[in-house]
Amino acid sequence: MDITNSATATPAAGSPAAPPPLNLAVIVASNREGRFAPVVTDWFAARVAERDDFTTHVLDLADVDLPTALSSRPDDAVRAELAKVSPVLDAADAFVVVTPEYNHSFPAALKSLIDWHRAEWQAKPVGFVSYGGISGGLRAVEQLRQVYAEMHAVTVRDTVSFPFVHSRFDEDGEPVDPTGPEGAAKTLLDQLAWWARALKDAKAVRPYAG
């Protein structure tokens, strides 16, 4: 799903034109039946859509079936699944992973997505929106930081986290108290935009040597 932000500021006369928006891939990590992920993702995607520095593609792993066993020569079925996701990851300037916490870790579908790719992650920033019980999914995030470091990605410091998530949203899918989550989302996206622009500009001068 593509979410293109059409509101762009008109530069003042004589001022440099604003750079084109960054391509942001929002990855929905959960594929579990009855998941809460769509509520959190829709809310976050709406926050991104309020900005003019990103265009957004939501990649839902419930629509992807990548095996956990890797192969250097994937069969036709695996190639068909990779065709759904690899171009999205390759085109992205930055990523946000929306993840729950399952048994103190993150979903297997996300690990499969990560493991089937390498160059697509390199020298790009990754942010996290997590949710769950008492920890708000932060134990999953801490493990993901280690995994993405191995993929030569840069994880941004600040996160958006929803502890006891079912009590944090109303029946319309909006936070009961939006102040904290909206402030956290802005901080996350500001950091992500800085890193994405810095890394993209650096790679334009000198390709990443990963």
Placement of tokens 């920890």 in the chain: 135
In this structure, are residues 144 and 97 in contact, taking their beta carbons and an 8 Å threshold? yes
Q: For residues 125 and 156, what is the distance between their CA atoms, to the nearest angstrom? A: 7
Domain boundaries, the chain: 20-205
Amino acid, res. 121:
W
Predicted pLDDT of residue 11: 53
Task: Count Cβ atoms within 10 A of the Cβ of residue 126 and give its class: 0-12 exposed, 13-18 middle, 19 or more buried.
Answer: buried
Q: For residues 25 and 92, what is the distance between their CA atoms, to the nearest angstrom? A: 6
Predicted pLDDT of residue 17: 79
Predicted pLDDT of residue 210: 77
- Kindly state the average pLDDT of the residues 51-66: 97
User: Does pLDDT of 122 surpass 50?
Assistant: yes
Give the closest residue to 84 by CA, choosing from 60, 56, 118. 60
Stronger pLDDT, 14 or 126, i.e. the higher one: 126
Dihedral sign, Cα of residue 137, residue 142, residue 145, residue 147: negative
Per-residue b or e along 128-144, where b marks 16 or more CB atoms closer than 10 Å to that residue's CB: bbbbbeebbbbbbbbbb
Tokens of 173: 């899918």
- Kindly state the average pLDDT of the residues 150-168: 97
Predicted pLDDT of residue 4: 45
Give the closest residue to 41 by CA, choosing from 55, 22, 54, 60. 60
Return the CATH superfamily for domain 20-205: Flavodoxin domain (3.40.50.360)
Give the chain's mean pLDDT: 93
User: Does pLDDT of 178 surpass 60?
Assistant: yes
For residue range 76-111, list pLDDT tens digits in order. 999 999 999 999 999 999 999 999 999 999 999 999
